[in-house]
């Protein structure tokens, strides 16, 4: 049925005039609402987060931590708070005993907003002028970088960068102190992962596993939910660099939950045998590539972007998270900035201060 058209004459109504006080109130409220709707937003605003700071709102729809929350290991993948697999992409610092001046508010702003990274790996060397020389200083430095990265909505990998000696048990007492101190300060953050042994070498997998099963409870005592990243044999190559393969880890995993196993590669040195091992391992155990370069195993020499691209394609297909080495201006080709950039205070954004590897990896992080 079509309703009859409504005309003013069909239903005459009379409305009493509002009382003066009510009319004034209605007018005031309408004006306030109009002002609220038409006012320009402030240039910078802040919103509370779940990871310990107020973070400036940027052009990004959400920071990585805003979008994904606390990470967890689900099956063979790294997953977000909703159980969906994620792939983190980002950068590692160089040794903070040498290149702390490359890690400033401005450089980390560029990493978060211009590079659009998801994660910063904070590398605290144990030897080579690092932690063992001044534990309080290097703990405070790691603490500062965790806070700065967290303030920008990045995930943070706390890297215990043991290298020489290659047996992680040689630094067990130091590692216990370091991870006790760091987890006690950051146990309430949802964005921190712990890498407990950078590149074990010259030792068996059983020795590395023993170390992991002693350090993980130290971390869990303060932070029971953070993912822990366990180094593998032969410079975190799943043993390939010492004639083994991933089967030793697959067949004898660490007795702990929420752990991943690390793999490192340098594309100009580590060819198809390493790529194949990474591919096989990622189908069977949780893997995180916490360090790689486009150069040789020393992080120097000519870039092999073609081989690097093969690795990145594989990691994209299998959602393997990765971190590139390194966010500094070291003279080697693996450092992303040209020498002198850090002393000059940048420029950090754009490509003017980047080496070829820096420009290449920035595009891959952004893309």
Residues with a known catalytic role: 199, 291
Region label for 303, one of left (φ > 0), alpha (ψ between -120 and 50) or beta (otherwise): beta
Which residues are CB-contacts of 315 (< 8 A; sequence separation ≥ 6)? 87, 289, 321, 322
Residue 264 contacts residue 289 (beta carbons within 8 Å): yes
Residue 228 contacts residue 261 (beta carbons within 8 Å): no
Residue 39 to residue 60: CA distance in whole angstroms: 22
Nearest to 137 by CA among 128, 124, 146: 124
The DSSP code for 337 is B
Strand 89-92 and strand 322-325: the pairing is: parallel
Nearest to 200 by CA among 272, 145, 126: 126
Residue 208 to residue 202: CA distance in whole angstroms: 10
Reduced DSSP (H G I as helix, E B as strand, rest coil) percent helix, strand, coil of the chain, to 5 = 40, 15, 45
Residue 121 contacts residue 323 (beta carbons within 8 Å): yes
- Is 82 exposed, middle or buried, given 0-12, 13-18 or 19+ CB atoms closer than 10 A? exposed
196: tokens are 């407990």
Write down the number of H helices and E strands in the chain: 12, 12
């Amino acid at each position: 049925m079509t309703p009859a058209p409504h005309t003013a004459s069909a239903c005459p109504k009379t409305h009493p005039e509002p009382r003066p006080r009510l009319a004034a109130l209605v007018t005031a409220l309408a004006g306030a609402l109009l002002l609220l709707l038409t006012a320009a937003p402030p240039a910078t605003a802040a919103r509370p987060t779940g990871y310990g700071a107020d973070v400036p709102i940027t052009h990004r729809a959400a920071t990585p931590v805003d979008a994904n929350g606390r990470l967890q290991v689900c099956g063979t993948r790294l997953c977000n708070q909703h159980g969906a697999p994620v792939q983190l992409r980002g950068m590692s610092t160089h040794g903070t005993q040498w290149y702390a001046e490359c890690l400033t508010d401005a450089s980390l702003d560029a990493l978060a907003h211009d590079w659009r990274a998801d994660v910063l790996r904070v590398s605290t060397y144990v030897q080579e002028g690092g932690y063992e020389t001044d534990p309080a200083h290097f703990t405070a430095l790691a603490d500062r970088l965790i806070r700065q990265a967290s303030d920008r909505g990045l995930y943070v990998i706390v890297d215990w960068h043991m290298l020489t000696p290659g047996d992680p048990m040689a630094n067990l007492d130091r590692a216990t102190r370091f991870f006790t101190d760091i987890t006690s300060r950051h146990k309430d953050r949802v964005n921190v992962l712990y890498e407990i042994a950078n590149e074990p070498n010259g030792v068996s997998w059983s020795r590395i596993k023993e170390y992991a099963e002693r350090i993980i409870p130290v971390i869990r005592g303060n932070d029971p939910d953070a993912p822990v990243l366990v180094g593998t044999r032969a410079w975190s190559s799943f043993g390939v660099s010492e004639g083994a393969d991933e089967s030793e880890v697959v067949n004898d995993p660490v007795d702990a939950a929420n752990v991943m196993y690390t793999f490192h590669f340098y594309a100009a040195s580590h060819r198809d045998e390493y790529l194949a091992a990474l591919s096989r391992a990622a189908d069977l155990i949780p893997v995180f590539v916490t360090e790689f370069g486009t150069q040789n195993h020393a992080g120097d020499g000519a870039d092999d972007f073609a081989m690097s691209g093969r690795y990145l394609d594989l990691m994209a297909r299998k959602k393997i998270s990765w971190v590139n080495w390194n966010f500094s201006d070291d003279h080697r080709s693996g450092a992303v900035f040209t020498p002198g950039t850090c002393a000059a205070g940048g420029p950090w954004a754009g490509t003017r201060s980047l080496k070829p590897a820096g420009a290449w990896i920035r595009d891959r992080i952004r893309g």
